[in-house]
Structures are given as C-alpha cells and as structure tokens.
Chain A
Amino acid sequence: MKKYLLSSIAAIVLLSSCDKWIDTSINDDPNNVSNASLNVILPTAQAGLGYVVGGDLGRFTGLFTQHFYGAARQSQGMYKYIMTESDIDNAWQFNLYAGPMQDLHDMIEISKKNKSPYYQGVAEILMAYSLGTVVDLWDNAPYSEAFKGDANLKPSFDNGEQLYAEIHKLLDDAIVNLGAASSVFSPKGDDFLYNGDKSKWIKAAHALKARFYMHTRLKDPASTAKVLTECAAAFADNSDDLQFVFGATGSTANPLYQFDQQRNDIRAGEKLMELMNATNDPRRPLYAKLDADTLYSSSSELGPYYASIDSPVPFITFAEVKFLEAEAAFISGDKAKSVASYNAAIAASMKKLGVADANATTYLAQQNVAATEGDITLQRIMEQKYISMYTQFESWADIRRTNFPSLTPVSGSQIPRRFPYPQSERIYNGENLAKVNNGVTIYSHVWWDVH
C-alpha cells in the first residue's frame, strides 16, 4: 500500500521538476533547419523561378498575347482580361518576393560573407532576371527596402526606371564575380541551370542585358547599340540556353504540364495558330495537338514540347538573342546583319525543337517567311519571334514595344499592358503602394512602354 503511494508520489515529484519538464529546447523545431548552406538554397530558388515563370507568369501573359486560348473556367475569364489583384497574389508573394527572390537576396549576403563570388554571381544574375520580370509585369516595385523582414515591414516602391539601372548593375557585378580567380564555395550539381559552368553564366548575363536594353530602346535610342554589343557576348548556340528543365515525377513536373493535366482549361492560342497555319510551320505538332476537326486551332490542346512532364521552361534562349540582334540591327539600319540574325534565330528555334533540317530549310524558304535585306520588316522579325517564344512572357513585352504581331482585343478596345498590383501589397503595404498605384489599371503602361 505504502509502496504504491510512495511510488506514485515520487513519480509526481519527478514529473514536476519544472526545469526538466519545461525544457525550452522542446520548442526547437525538429522539422526545419535554422541555417542552410548555399548549395541547398540555390536549387530551390532555381526551381521556384522555373515554376512561377513556366506557371502563372507564362500562362497569364500567354492568355493576353494569345499564345494560349482560355477555353474554360478561370482561364476563360483571364483570356477576356478579367484579372484581379488576388489572381496574381500567389505569384508575387509566395513565388517571387517571399520565394526565390528572398532566397537569392539571402544568397548574395551569405556568399559575400563566405567569400564565394561564384555563388554570388549566379544569385545576382537570377535576382536581376527576377527583378526585371517584376518591373516588366508590374512597373514600380519594392527592392531597395525589400527582403528585410521585421526590420522593414513596409518597403517602399522603387521607380521602375531606377530598378532597370539596378538590374544592369547586378548583371555587371555578376560578370565581375564570375570572373574572379577563386571562390570558397562553388556551385556544381546544385546548379540545375548550368551545372556550375561560369562561362555560360557570364553569357547569360550578357543575354539578359541585351533583353533589358531592348526594352528601353524607345525611351533611350542609345540602348539599341548596347543590345548589339551584349548579344555579341551572349549565347553562341542552343546549348547555352538559360532554361529550367523539370523532372519526370509528379512532384518535379513542369507547371504547364501540371496545369494542362490537372485543369485542362487552356488551348493553343488563336493568333499563334493563325500565324503558324499561314506558313505550315513544322513546329505546330510540337506546340499543339490536332483538334477534333484535325486542324490546328484554338481548340487544339497543348503540344508536347512545352507541356510534357519534363519540359523545359526557358528563361532566355539563344534564339531570343538572335532575334534581339535581328531587331537591333534592323533598327540601326544594318539590314544584312538583321537578315542573318533573323535566319539564325529561326534555325535555332527549329533546331531546339528537333525539327529536321530539311523541314526547317523548306520553311525558311517560303515567301512569307524568307527575308532579304530588301524586304525584311520589323513585323516579320517580331512575328517569327512571337512564334519561337511560345509560352514565354517576353512576347508580351515584345507586343507592347512593337505592336507586332497585331492582336485583336478579345474584349474592350485594347490588350492589357501590365498586371494589377497584388492584393497583399494593397492590404499590408497600402500607403507605399498608393504612391505608385494611383489610377493604375491593367491598361496602364510600364515605364518603358511608350506606345
């Protein structure tokens, strides 16, 4: 009897030894790590960018540019330009700012501390790419006061034009860093994009600079020459393409493939199909499937090249660089170079998709494709670029800059020219947003959009 009592009382005393029972280390999170190394942050940031670029950003802009047709449900609404501040909130919050961009920001800081310029350079290039994307889609955006957590809960919005200067600075800095003699830590297999190949990263930096200079050529005519300079230092062939290749399993599947499989609400775009049908484009079966009437139309489901489980999501490609060169040369009056680059761009696109050389040659020889110094036009360059840039949001920038290809608005009198600011910034950073959001609609122009 006494024994039972004693032992139970003893148990209580043991239990109630407060210091041991209320051990503060019990609240150390066993599921997550408090310090992560560069080689586990980089792959996550890259995959995150691949997911948002090939997912929401590519799809939403594709519905505006008629790369895609919105056949059903919410995609049908967006095809008709119904886009609300909550539609793009996930992309902004989770998949850009608090996602890859925050991690890239961290990486730049960590690699500076760790004296690892190679990681720093890679992170800077990806940050420049992300930030450039944000400016092209939303114009003014937080950067100088962003990513500070509780140290600044209300980051102000930087001017889009100034952010472009920042982007070029990041890219210039990256080129220097990647050329450094040594780096304590260097990206290897954790770099999904280039497997740690520094020379490719440097080329990618130049390619991005070419793209961003091109965006500003109507604002600043001096940009056109810079495009040509940067293109010369950029990609040499398709193997240099900066693109994220998805995996073969459900949890590593390409986002467009996932959307197509899980939602099945979009089809090949009207404009895209119209242009490709006009030239019997051999890339059609790779872009779209035959519809019920065995035609390629806006009833065609997505084709295999960009909508398979392990499809790539291009960030910037050799073909784009050649198109940039073609456009810049055309504007500068160097028609010969323009034609050469135009042909090279189309050939690169065909080759990338695996179109047989003979078919590519036949295609290029067609009257409404072939270009000579005498008849090359900006429209032809841009329409071909639009075809080769299928699924990529850069086409939206091209259309806004050049009005080519010319689109018939699906509703209203014009196509959208920017995304609305996200709901979360309006609610939680409203005062700062209000300074840049006055009268802004999806038809307002971003800073470089002078049309």
Chain B
Amino acid sequence: MKTLFTFLLMTVLIVTGDALAQNRIITGKVTSKQGTPVAGATVLVKGTALGGYTKTDGTYKINNVPADAKTLVFKMIGMKKKEMNIGANETINVTLEEDALLTDEVVVTAIGIEREKKGLGYSVQSVSGSELTQSHEANVVNAISSKVAGVQVISSNGVPGASSYIRIRGSASLEGENQPLFVIDGIPIDNSQSYSGNPDDGRNNLTNGVGYSNRAIDINPDDIASMTVLKGPAATALYGIRAAGGAIIITTKRGSATYGDKVNVSYSGSLSFDEVNKLPEMQNKYSQGRNGTYRGPETKDALSWGALMDTLRYDPTKPNKFDKNGTIVGISNPAGTLPFVPFDNSKTFFQVGKTWTHSLSMSGGSDASTYYFSLSNMNSDGIVPNSNFERTTVKISGDTKITKDLKASGNATYIRSGGQRVQQGSNTSGVMLGLVRTPPSFDNSAGYMFADGSQRTYRGGGGYDNPYWTINKNIFGDDVNRLIGSAQFDYIFADWFSAMYRFGADVWSDRRQQHFAIGSATAPTGRVYDHQLFNRDINSDLILTFNKKLTPELDGTLLLGHNAYESFGQSVYNQGDGLIIPDFYHISNTSGQFIRESIGKLRRAAMYADARLNYNDIYYLNGTIRNEWSTTLPAANNSFMYYSVSGAVVFTDALNFADNDIMQFGKLRVNYAVVGKDAPIYATTTTYSQGSYNDGWTDGISFPFNGQVGYMMGNVMGNSGLKPEKTSSFEIGADLRFFNNLFGIDFTYYDQISKDQIFSVPIAGSTGYTNIVSNNGEITNTGIEVVLTATPVNTDGFRWDATLNWSQNKNKVVSLAPGVENITLGGFTGATARAVAGLPYGTIFGFGWLRDKNGNVIIENDPNNERGDPVGYPIMDPTEKAFGSSNPDWQMGFRNTFSYEGITLSALLDVRKGGAIWNGTRGALYYFGTHKETEVRGSTTVFKGVKGTLNDKGEIVSNGEVNTDQVALDQNWLAFGNANGFIGTNTEDFIEDGGWVRLRELSLSYKLPSSITEKTPFSGIRISYTGRNLWLSTKYKGVDPETNLMGAYNAQGLDYFNMPGTRSHTFSLNVDF
C-alpha cells in the first residue's frame, strides 16, 4: 500500500508543476425550446471545476476560461444535458430540450459519486428534500416511510424523540447491524441507538427504561436537498462493511451563485398537534378487587376482578385517603349516598402534544464561491405531560474554486438535541404499565402524592408507580451535543484525471441523567444516575478518477480509492442509590454508588477500484473490487477482498425505439456482488469482567462489593479464529417508461445469501459459558420491488401524479450453528423474537395450545391430571412453538399528487400486509382484569376442540371425541388460568396480525401566485397543512401496530406496555426572500 501512495504523491508533485495557462471570458444565454430563459442551469468547462449558473434571464458568464478548453457542458434538472464546442467562440447560446423521460437524471451513488441513473446496473431510489420535509417528521427515518420500495421503517412509538428502525431488503445479519449506513455529504454518520440503565443488565435495558433516539434524529430535514437509497450490495460495494445493510445517501443543500448582493433567504415554520391515535380497549364495568368483591387500595390488590361498579356507592361521611368522594361501599349500605362513576384514566392522562419548528437558511455566492447557512429549531411537547424533545441545528457549508483546477468545500453542522423522556415498557415506573393496569374504580389523576411524601397508587403505594408520579418525580433527560464536519478538495489534473480528498468527522457526546424519587417502584430508596456517552467516528477518503474516451463510442472511467475509518466510543455510567435528602438529585446525596466504564475502538482501512465502461450511452458495464482491513478480526484473517459486477443496457436505444408510440425508454440491469463484514470489537478473546449477577427479577448485585474488587470469567467465549462474514447477492431489474413517461415501471428481483455469520452462538450453561462467538449460519433474503409511476392527467395547469412502491421480502434463516437451532434476539420469557433455522428472522416464539395431529385443541378431560388443569378447558402445550414473524408479507406506499396552479394536494396511503406482533399488554391485562375482553367474565363457553389429556410421559391421550363441556369464563380461567398471558405462559392468544392500511400523509399546500408575492418583499410564499396518520385500519388490538418495545433494534414485533402512536395535524409556512 505504501508504494502506491509514494506513486500518487509523485504524480501530484509532477502535475501541480504545470503553469496556469492564458485565460478568456465566455458569455451566453440558455433558453428552452419554447424560447423562455432557463435560470439556474449549470454551465461547466468540461474537465475542470470552472463554471457557474445561469441567472433568471438565462444568461451566464465564465471568467478565466483556459485557452485550451474545448467543451462547455450545460445541465439542468428536467432537461437533457448538452455539450458545446468552444472553438474560438466567446459567446455560446444554447437551447436545452425538455427531458420528459428523465433519462439524464443524476443520482448520488456510493462515496458521493454522481452518476446518471440511466447507466446504473443496480436499483437505487431517490427521495427529494421537499418530499421528506412535507411529512413534518422530526425523525428523518420516519420521513422515508413508504416512499421507497424495499425499505421498512418502524417507529417505536409516538413519544417525542422516539427511535425508528429502518431496514432495507430484510435482515441479513444475525446479531450485527441490519440497518443501513447513513452518509451525509460523503461522511458516514452514526445512527446508533444507545441505551442507558445499569450496564450489567445489557440489552434488558431496552425492554424497560425510557425510549431512546436513534442518532439520525439529529439531522435537520430542511437541510436535505435529496436522498438516495442504495439498496443492495452492488450499489453499496464501494462502502464495504458498514453498508452491508444498504445505505442512505443524503446530499444537503448548498449555495448557488446569486451574483451581486442578492442572498437567497428562506424560512419555514410549522406547528403540529399530536394526539394519541389508538389505545388498548379497557373495561369500565368492574372495580378493583377479586372474586367479584371490591377490594380497595388499602388491600394493595393488583386486580380489577372486583364487584360490578354499578353495585357500588360512595359513603361521603367516611373520608378516604385514596378517594376524595369518600369510602366505597356496597349498594345495599344506606350510607352509600353518592353514585359511583368509573374513571377513564387513559383518556384523562394523555394530552395534545405540540411541536414547533423553525428553519431559516441563507445561501448565495459568486462564480468562485458559494455558501449555505442554516439555523433550525424544533421543540416538541409530547402526548405524555412533561415529556419533550428539542433539536437545534446550525449548519454552514461552502464551496470555493481556489484555482481553475482546485475546488475546496467544507461542511460543519452543530446539533444540540435531547429532552425529557418517558418511562416505558416492562418497567415498574413505566407510564403505560401503571396506567392501563389501574382499575376503573381508581382515579390516578386525583393526586400522586400524599402529604407525607408517600405515593398514592391504586395498590396502596406498592407494585408500580402512578403514571403521574413517574412523569413528575422520575425524570430522565438527555443532552446531545454533536458536530459533523468535513473538508473536501477536488483537483483536476487533466480533463481525464482528477482527484478528490475528503476528511470528515462525526463527534457527539450524550449526557443522560435519570433520577427516581424516594418511594418509586423502580428504586424505592431513590436513585440517580449520570450516563455520559461519547462517540467519535472519523473517515478519510481519497479517490482518483480517470476518464477517457477509448473510442468515439466507448467511454471508460476508472476510479481508485482509499478509505480509512476509525470509530471510538466511550460510556461512563455512575449510579447512586439510597437518597437521603428527598428531591435532591445529586450523586453526593446517595448512600451507595457504582461506576461502569467501557471503551470501544476499531479501525478499518480499504483500497478499492471501480471500473466503468459506457458504450454510446446504451451499454454499461461496471466492476468494483475492494480490499478491506479491520482491527476487529484476528491478524491472520483481517484482510479480505470482495467485488461486484453490474451491467445495464438501454434496449430502447439499442433497438431504436425512439419513435415508438408506446415505449420510449427501456433498460435492463443485472448485477452480482459480494460484500464482507468484520467482527464486533473484542470478540477474539475471553476475559474476566467486573463481577455482577442478575436474575431478571431484581436489579442484581455488582462489584466492587463491600470494599472488595471482584471479577468473573465472562459468559461469552471469544474466538481467535474468526473470519469475515460474507453476503453475496444477485439482482436483476428493468426500468420501462411508456407514452412519454406518462407511465413507468421499475421492477427489481434480488436474491441474497449471507454466510459465515459472526454471532455469539448460545451453548449449554454446563460448559461454563453461555455463548461462544463463531462464524456460522446462513440467512437468505429474496424479494421483489416494483415502482410504478404515472401521470394520468397533465393538462394546462392541472397535473396528477401517482407513485406506487410495492415490495416483498422473503427472509429465511437457513442455518445457525451445528446443533444450534435457535437464538434469541430479544424479548421476554413470555414471547421472544428469535432466529431459528428454517424460519424467517425474528420469528416470535412462546407457548400455545396443545393440539393433536389434526390440529384440534385438546380439552382437558382428566380430573386427576397432575398439572391441576381444570376439566373442560384447553391444555397448554409444554413445548414452545413459533407464532409467525414480524416481517410483513408485503408493503406498499401509494402516493397521489394533484396540482393546480399553486395548489397541491397529496395523499400517501401506506399498506403493510401481515407481520405478527406479540400483544403482551393485552396478555397482562387479562390477569389484571382491566382489558375490555375480560368483561366476558361470568359467561360460559364450550371450547372448540377434542376431549383428551396430556399424560405424565408428555403424550396426548385422546379418542377424538368433540368437546361439549360448558365451562365458566371466570377469574380462575381468565386471570389465573391459562387464558392469561402474564402469570401463565399463554403466548398464542396474544399474537396478533400487525398489518395495517393507513393514510400516512395527507397534505394540502398553496403557493401564492407571483402576482401577489410581487407586492411583498417575498419571492415566494407557501402555506400548507399535513395530516399524519389521519386514518388507520388494523386488526391489532393494542396501540398503533407501528411500534416496538426495544426501539431501533433487531428484535421487532414486541409490544409490552408500549407507548401509543400518534396522529398529527401540521400547519406550516414557507417563505422565500
């Protein structure tokens, strides 16, 4: 490698020795076919960075054009590119033709290379900045939702700052990252979701605690000019390891030459109102208690299996500390003079959230230099009182031509984000947990604290927190400071040879502070913790580009690149327990502390080549090869190579379809790619770690312990023989356009195999370890993506555009490790998301009903069965079963846009077919007796199935006789029996279809006509309304099924007291000066 760079260095020295040539000035005007001036077109001296833009009257002027310059290139979005010979001319006027087929559409591909979409041998899809901002989503990941075929976005919930999970073409890595790489202006940025809480609890912290953000939330959507989604390994081949899950390439807005004093100033502001769109259905008939008897908060009873509420009255003469109306008595008690009214705790609790956003940008420049400056603020108050999220961003970018051959550009973005988060999930301080377990006979809102400072809950202070206590007393705040910056130099050595060097860094710190008041369920003695996270990613790219016309028809491009990458992360966690002075939250006020620190660092380096051939803009061939080095692999295996080949043919041009009435453009593409992936850090050795024990019930214990330091052998065995993971992919596709682009179809089929997965293979505890890291396993993803575009109407002034994105991905875990059939990705003992050989990744496992060979449920008929199961009720199968995966069968986004004059109406329909979700909330609420479905109590049923039993040997004994036993649906069955999904093991009844049809976006905008704006200081004014999730149709019985307990994490499809989703109304204003 060293040798190559010595060579490069020498080349640079030789070439820069050239003297600058003599100069001249070229001017001209660019017009359309109709003769109207074309403003904003790019004019470039071919082979140099020299050039500029046309003004509003279509004219341009380029100074310092070298004497030897031969060609001028004219480019404009929506127009066909044109090249003109300069010759001796000093004035060059051109007419650009409209590009109805958009065949000259340029997209940004891997490592920031702009390429004509026409020549790509793989599928990419772009989303414009305006399409993203129109969604008014705080999190840019959500804004991509249903706009790109093959991309699945799952927002974890509707709380401000909540994370969103994104995956392209399914999951290919068992335990590694399955989300795409995010790249902004060539710099890979971090989109991780870091969790807090005692680090010894590991990923269990994702099932409780608060909802965290994924770091792409730091991006200001208003800064985005366009986004390209690179879907497959062929498209991301030049990124290597980090883009194994695809890549989201974001190009931010930059300044353009404005000449004179003019500055383009643009402001956009919006106000959104968010409200809960769906909640689990609750019963409001039965009071707290059990066996049909009211048992109030004094009894600490957790359940709502008490008396019918219309049999209860208040006795106002007997004051009660839990209820301001008095003591609850039976209807026959003459002192019960006040009627008893049930409380709707959920309705009372949530509020309308409000989000304000303001974004101001200024841009402009001259021929030589341009700048873009933006400032934005988003401030969101959530549906949960006291929750909020705020993001402020400042961005500056500039480009300058230092000489005719050298261009320098830079970007710097500072972001501050964070807010106050909501306790959620399986968390005794969780808002939803405390809220929906509350009996309708108890009013949470009537105070959360007694005069003595103790907590007022329906369980007399025990169990879990009153949600009002949590939002007022158990506060989690995060504060992120982030800087993303880069500097780039482009140097043109000759019209056939240029070089680019770019250095960038993404650095953030995240300070999180949590406190639990004394008396909180999570930490009864009080707790504070301070979690400081720091992350630094640096990236260096050197790219040499050689471009030559090999023959008049054949154009060749060769790109040689070098990449170096380093990622460093640090986490310092200080926890103090046992507060002495109430409500003073500082580590000095805690009687015991513990500290955890962890550091992670890795480096990678790569060299790559990318060769492209273009024959007459008809036949394209592209090959890449990349060698990568990574510190996370053992020295013997840390260098590895992979490659891609892709080709495209524009058959309409090859076969001269130009004048065909039906099809004007048709392209076929095909590619094959192999991509590698390294290991997680520190996976090659087995070490002793700081002593700590946990059993899943309690917080556990940890060292130092009573002054002693303690270590224990790690549970995971390292592996010094690891080699890289490998994914190979085949993709074929077609892009066809009909009737002058009135209708278009883009079709892609892919087949992807991921092998030698590096994962921590579970092993029997009796080996002394619980896991061993190894290369094993295979996952396949095959799928189809269809993008249909149509413009059914395009008459004077009125235009109707329709886009449909449809995709289907079939995922299968082919094998894991020898003898390992199944690994757990996350979840609970009740329901876990797993990778199991032969089944799709993320299949949900749990317990279900015992069935005979014909699928009939076995209904108990042995009164003496050892299990103590009641006769006449179904039997639970003691063996775990698979209950479908959270992966949807297919998904679709269908957008229709109507525009007339300045009015645009756009609707985005989103369909997700299938995809299982475990509704653990409903399962638990059976036990608690607060779910609507528990109102069946007191009725009887005959369970469908056949009579039989399960004997001591685990065999089904049944003669197939159909069950006719009429049995009671009572507390013993619904709450304490196998019907419930909480203290029992029933998973089956709580697996639900998570599919939906929703109106994801409906927006109406109006751009004021120029006749009005002319009279104002503004050059453009647009007002708009966007409705999000205005309509949702789903069979799911819980909150909005677009939800996930563990957030942006591989284990999806779990709902256990998840926070609800939202519907929102946004009003916005855009003004250009």
Contacts and interface: CB of A to CB of B under 8 A. Distances in A.
Interface of A: 1-2, 4-6, 8-13, 15-18, 21-24, 26-36, 40-41, 43-45, 47-48, 51-52, 55-56, 72-74, 76-77, 80-82, 84, 86-87, 90-99, 101-103, 105-106, 141-142, 145-150, 152-155, 189-190, 192, 246-253, 255, 258-259, 261-264, 292, 409, 411-414, 422, 424-425, 427-429, 438-439, 441, 443
Given A4-B489, A32-B688, A425-B765, A12 B501 contact: yes
Contacts of A29: 681-682, 685, 687
B631 A97 contact: no
B694 A94 contact: yes
A412 B860 CA distance: 14
Contact of A40 (B12, B593, B682, B710): B710
Contacts of B690: 32
Contacts of B712: 41, 44-45, 48, 99, 103
A97 B768 contact: yes
Contacts of A56: 695, 697
Contacts of B503: 8, 11
B983 A82 contact: yes
A77 B876 CA distance: 14
Contacts of A411: 868
Nearest to A255: B698
- Per CB-CB distance, the 10 closest pairs between chain A and chain B, nearest first, are A249-B592, A250-B577, A411-B868, A93-B765, A44-B691, A412-B868, A429-B764, A44-B710, A32-B687, A258-B698
A249 B765 contact: no
Nearest to B17: A2
Contacts of A33: 687-688, 711
Given A150-B717, A441-B866, A16 B768 contact: no
B701 A251 contact: yes
A18 B865 CA distance: 69
Contacts of B829: 84, 86-87
8 contacts: A13-B9, A24-B634, A27-B632, A40-B709, A98-B770, A255-B701, A425-B765, A443-B866
Given A32-B689, A76-B983, A443-B866, A252 B706 contact: yes
A198 to B, nearest CB: 19
A47 B693 contact: yes
B325 interface: no
A252 B693 CA distance: 10
B605 interface: yes
B638 interface: yes
B766 A97 contact: yes
A127 to B, nearest CB: 12
A4 to B, nearest CB: 7
A56 B598 CA distance: 29
A113 B821 CA distance: 39
Which of under 10, 10 to 19, 20 to 34, or 35 or more describes the interface residues of B?
35 or more
Nearest to B13: A6
B868 A251 contact: no
B21 interface: no
Contacts, number: 346
B773 to A, nearest CB: 10
Interface stretch (B180-188, B312-320, B521-529, B1023-1031): B521-529
Given A9-B8, A12-B562, A429-B766, A250 B603 contact: no
A97 B768 CA distance: 5
A425 B766 contact: yes
A22 B631 contact: yes
A133 to B, nearest CB: 15
A440 B529 CA distance: 46
Nearest to A23: B631
B764 A425 contact: yes
Nearest to A145: B766
Given A24-B638, A93-B765, A247-B706, A34 B592 contact: no
Interface of B: 1-2, 5-6, 8-9, 12-13, 16, 298-299, 302, 402-403, 406, 428, 462-463, 489, 491, 501, 503, 521-525, 527, 540, 542, 562, 564, 575, 577-578, 591-594, 597-599, 601-605, 629-632, 634-635, 638, 681-682, 684-691, 693-703, 705-715, 717, 762-770, 772, 819-822, 829, 847, 864-868, 878, 927, 952-954, 976, 982-985
Contact of B697 (A8, A94, A106, A263): A263
B685 to A, nearest CB: 6
Given A82-B984, A264-B463, A412 B765 contact: no
A44 B575 contact: no
Contacts of A422: 765
Contact of A73 (B689, B715, B770, B982): B982
Given A21-B605, A98-B715, A252-B592, A16 B868 contact: no
B578 A80 contact: no
A142 B766 CA distance: 6
A148 to B, nearest CB: 6
B587 to A, nearest CB: 13
Contact of B868 (A4, A30, A81, A99): A81
A426 B602 CA distance: 37
A40 B578 contact: no
Contact of B540 (A15, A146, A292): A15
Nearest to B464: A264
Contact of B710 (A43, A102, A259, A429): A43
B866 A412 contact: yes
A149 B769 contact: yes
Nearest to A26: B631
Nearest to B4: A16
A146 B695 contact: no
Contacts of A26: 601-603, 631
Nearest to B696: A90
A52 B160 CA distance: 39
Given A22-B604, A97-B768, A250-B575, 13 more contacts: A1-B403, A22-B638, A28-B682, A29-B682, A33-B687, A44-B705, A77-B983, A86-B829, A95-B693, A148-B768, A155-B764, A250-B527, A427-B820
B951 to A, nearest CB: 9
Given A44-B711, A95-B695, A263-B698, A1 B402 contact: yes
Give the interface centre of B598, B763, B819 by most chain A CB atoms within 10 Å. B763
Give the interface centre of A44, A76, A425 by most chain B CB atoms within 10 Å. A44
Contact of B770 (A43, A93, A147): A93
A153 B819 contact: yes
B977 to A, nearest CB: 10
Contacts of B709: 40, 43
Given A5-B491, A32-B688, A259 B768 contact: no
B524 A261 contact: yes
Contacts of B766: 97, 141-142, 145-147, 155, 425, 429
Given A16-B562, A47-B701, A99-B712, A92 B765 contact: yes
Contact of A94 (B8, B591, B770): B770
Contacts of B562: 12, 16
Nearest to B638: A22
Contacts of A52: 693, 695
Contact of A428 (B592, B819, B867): B819
B688 A5 contact: no
B602 A27 contact: yes
Contacts of B16: 1-2, 5
A354 to B, nearest CB: 22
Contacts of A101: 768
A152 to B, nearest CB: 7
Given A29-B687, A439-B954, A262 B767 contact: no
Given A22-B603, A258-B699, A263-B697, A5 B12 contact: yes
B285 to A, nearest CB: 22
B868 A36 contact: no
A21 B770 contact: no
A85 B685 CA distance: 31
A21 B598 contact: no
A246 to B, nearest CB: 8
